[in-house]
Structure 1
């Protein structure tokens, strides 16, 4: 997103919530889920052209710190959710990162890092990841495959990247051009029942803006109203299950960046409405009023 539109997003969010600077994730938390040798290669720049192509851009010295800040914000949002029911990161959602390699603009898998931290700390026993980005969260699915404590659920474009999908978890592929009604029906009929049946005590929502019609990297056709309804229903599910809910923004690449900004701010508004309306649960107190 061009810097001027990022500034617009932050300014719009500041009108709704208290925006905080992202804390930097300790390397040890990244090493707890990613291969340390892989991390060291990207820290030092000892990567191949093939690895850069898979990532989507060339290595530079800022990649590691940007990844740590993004993951630190998701971890802070997870702490907020566990304390007050709701947490939000204005970035994050780097769901293409695998344990030992980078893909699709994703170096560190922030949601897996935060979910694994919560489990190790005894703060969550069963974690569901509701991935509503237009692209399957292949890295997340791979890293959580075979983990009985975690369930990745992905509602994505069947023809979108990644072209070879992971099979772990619950996958709901949608045809090109899927609009509001069909998308919301799949959400209610396939994705939500899987989350309910799993019975999580912590829920991550990847609220991708790239499901919007006209997105350069997406093939679905939701309207802004459809995306808003998607978010409202996802937060209603969290309220129904009475579980802490962490939102990260994931992808958004509209031809007109202002459209992506508007959809992201719509997500923030729905998050604020859900957090403000929810009764405290699980002894965690009132919803927080901050966004890391």
Structure 2
């Protein structure tokens, strides 16, 4: 069974009318996957502990967020109004991504039905990201037996600027960002490996550029675990994306990542990442591609890990 990590709180915090964040997509995706009766097992996370957050972020920033005393200008940069439920939701999603790591190490592959908060920096948040769950999960993975190098493969359409900055002093965390070159954020600190793509890039050009480079990255860095941000804001209809992948192109991207990791016997902790549409239901078939790709490759992945 494929572990899927989810909590109802992911779609349960107050936002102003007309806010761009697709809050209900997490609930809708969960309900869709339940209805499909797939070979999956749902796991519910608990909130992350303060010490794992302080190990990545400025403790003063963390305290201000938790207490609701972060200056308004910094909350505006994040893009959410502060609320106790926002904080509880954020801490639970952090716990969810670390649980995804634990489940992936147990089974070979696990997926978090939120996550990918890659714009959060050491002492400030940005772009709907309070805390950087990818970096926190990578640091958590490195505490586990046999994990000496973690690669974060970030295929969200937006550059993983917070992750790149936070990981710059950690040679055991390899960052690989594939993104639209003319999109948020304006300042893009160097990842270990960056693949900026022009506006309007379509399926074939995207896959031809990305998958061979992924092959080289896996061969060069030989990670013991991959954390995969499978953002669907690369889709041609995305409100904030500017790339032009089709639904099938997203499936081929996800299948390409998972099949390569399976071939190298690398466990994968995946998060669904970004995706923006005024009608939240339109995002569900796109995020579903990751789960369908995972199920396609999961039996062989499990067998290869058990044989190793």
TM-score by length of 2: 0.88
Deviations for 1:179-236, whole angstroms, at most 9, x for unmatched residues? 1011001112324322321110000110001000111111000000000100000101
User: Secondary structure of 1:129's partner?
Assistant: strand
Q: Hey, what's the Cα distance between the residues in 2 that align with 1:137 and 1:110? A: 12
The correspondence for 1:18, drawn from 41, 49, 52, is: 41
Structure 2 CA distance for aligned equivalents of residues 279 and 63 of structure 1: 36
**Correspondence for 2:204:** 181
Aligned partner (choices 235, 254, 261) of residue 231 of structure 1:
254
Residue 239 to residue 65, structure 1, CA distance change in 2 (3 Å): same
Q: Contact 1:24–1:72 (CA<8 Å) still a contact in 2?
A: yes
- 2:107 and 2:302 in contact (8 A); partners too: no
Tell me what 1:248 maps to. 271
Distance in 2 (CA, whole Å) between partners of 1:75 and 1:272 is 21
Q: In 2 relative to 1, CA 53–85 (structure 1 residues): closer, same or farther, beyond 3 Å?
A: same
Secondary structure of the corresponding residue to residue 266 of structure 1? helix
Distance 1:171 1:177 in 2: 18
User: For the residues of structure 2 that align with 1:8 and 1:276, how far apart are their CA atoms?
Assistant: 26
Report the equivalent of 1:142: 165
Greater alpha carbon shift after TM alignment, 225-234 vs 63-72: 63-72
- Which of residues 106, 114, 118 in structure 2 aligns to 1:83? 106
Preserved CA contact (<8 Å) 2:234 2:244? yes
Corresponding residue SS for 1:97: coil
Deviates more, 1:269-278 or 1:34-43: 269-278
User: Is residue 85–residue 284 contact of structure 1 (8 Å, CA) maintained in 2?
Assistant: no
Gaps of 5+ in 2: 1-21
Shift of 1:2: 4.9
Matches within 5 A, 1:38-187: 38-187=61-210
Between the aligned partners of 1:123 and 1:250, the Cα distance in structure 2 is 27
| Paired residues of 1:38 and 1:100 also in contact (CA < 8 A) | yes
| Kept in 2: contact 1:154–1:191 (CA 8 A) | no
Matched residues, number: 284
**Structure 2 CA distance for aligned equivalents of residues 135 and 118 of structure 1:** 24
Range with bigger deviation, 97-106 or 189-198: 189-198
Instruction: Identify the residue that residue 10 of structure 2 maps to in structure 1.
Output: none
The CA distance in 1 between the partners of 2:228 and 2:144, in whole Å, is 21
Which runs of 5 or more structure 1 residues have no equivalent in the other structure? 286-292
Q: Kindly indicate whether structure 1 or structure 2 has the higher relative contact order, using CA contacts under 8 Å at least 6 residues apart.
A: 1
User: Could you tell me how far apart the structure 2 residues matched to 1:111 and 1:63 are?
Assistant: 19
- Matched-pair contact (CA < 8 Å) for 2:224–2:267: yes
Separation (CA, whole Å) in 2 of partners of 1:37 and 1:281: 44
Alpha-carbon offset, residue 99 of structure 1: 1.6
Q: State the SS of the aligned residue for 2:62.
A: helix
Question: Which digits, 9 at most, give the CA deviation of each residue in 1:36-92, with x for residues without a partner?
Answer: 111000011111222012101222222221111111111111011111211110111
- Give TM-score scaled by structure 1 length: 0.92
The CA RMSD over aligned residues, in Å, is: 1.7
Q: 1:121: how far off?
A: 3.6
